[in-house]
Structure 1
Amino acid sequence: MVPIPSRDGIALVGFDADDTLWRSQDYFDDAQAQFERIVSAYVDLDDVGQRLYEYESRNIAFFGYGVKGMALSMVEAAVDITDARITAGDIHRIVALAKDLLRHPVEILAGVRDAVAAVAATHPVVLITKGDLFHQEAKVRDSGLADLFRRIEVVSEKDPPTYARLLEEFDVPAGRFLMVGNSLRSDIAPVLALGGWGVHVPYHTTWAHEAGARVEAGQARMRTIEAIGALPQVVRELDALAAAR
């Protein structure tokens, strides 16, 4: 259980990990570009990337999020798109792309540690991320940020039922919870739907699956910031608004 401050306002701040605290999608984009070059040697198509996403989106229900799901989707897509003409050697190259993704270094985004530490000085903070368990745990360990968080949760999906379950475990009402993340779909919209608060920190590239959500314009319980350095001040502002309700 996460201790709840006795005062009013925001009792708990949650942070997303990938593309909020450290780089992630850049590496996936690069792997997809290499996949497209491999497959393009067999077929003349302009939409290989879109075809791959169709496999990925269907396979989430089977493989979940993360590198392993992408790797299996790439193999399946490559076989289907090339009518099984792709060679074993090129399948091996695709598997190697996935291994490279799992080995990529954890590159903390500029200003992240100072911003998280500043928020953690005034509020309990937790990390809520989704994806492959082993990979996410390794990234958290290698990030050097784990000491800042009261709890670290790796979940299979980030939707209203998942957040509701976590908030029940934390013993925190939704109206006193604030989530920080780069994805409107996974980090902000589900929490707002429960009556919570959100700070959207857009990243320069977003996976297509995360780009579909919309949040009502002028949403009073959400702020968008362009740089993580603005977060501590925005948390203070939303804390005051939450306390006034």
Structure 2
Amino acid sequence: MNRFTGKVAVVTGAAQGIGAATARRLAAEGAAVAVLDLTAQAGQDVAAAIREEGGTARAYACDVTDGEAVEAVFAKVEQELGGLHILVNNAGITRDHLFFRMPKSDWDSVLTVNLTSAFQCAQAAQTYMTRQKYGKIVSLSSRSALGNRGQANYAAAKAGIQGLTATLAIELGPYNVNVNAVAPGYVATAMTAATAERTGHAPEEHQRLTAERTPLRRVAQPEEIAAVVAFLASDDASYVSGQTLYVNGGAR
């Protein structure tokens, strides 16, 4: 498939995990991809892998919590890659604690990285998208938006992504901009490995315990989430907007 030929995509937090898998999937289908992470060096391996596979990608440094830095890097992407058609808001962190002992600094950092960054990136991207009357914004929410012990900050941020998504779909829809979110369940990434260690489990054991509670009896791989993001970023989803799609193996 070449659903993204002629399109330029920005993927935040693209150096590893779901972000890296999404960057590679979009590039494999023809997009020129801006691999954004805190440092350009962090994204170099992903960008290089894309180029080795015949795709087009460049690594860019950007602190997505800094609005001015976001505007500057998006302008650079537009100039160097020739446009800005797709934004995937994937950057995120966890700082897990039970609520009664959660420091406000961990509340602030998780809300800023996971939610405020999506606001800032979407606000910068819509300038290009509304002007050209075309755009796709896909943001990463989480099953944790429904509530998860030890993640009051993360759950609030990911629930906020869903509200932001629904509202932007209303405001940007008249400009032919689709805005959606993907809410993964357990995905085998470095982030969930860190969560496993926080709870006193080896990552493999944590995955096994989660799989036992999941109807499909396994956890997801980053590439499976990337496939759903790619669908929502494509014209196959041209009449889908304002939605949050849960990708969790049937878990309830």
TM-score range, shorter chain: 0.3 to 0.5
TM value normalised by structure 1: 0.42
Higher relative contact order (CA 8 A, sep 6+): 1
Structure with the greater alpha carbon radius of gyration: 1
Greater fraction of residues in strand: 2
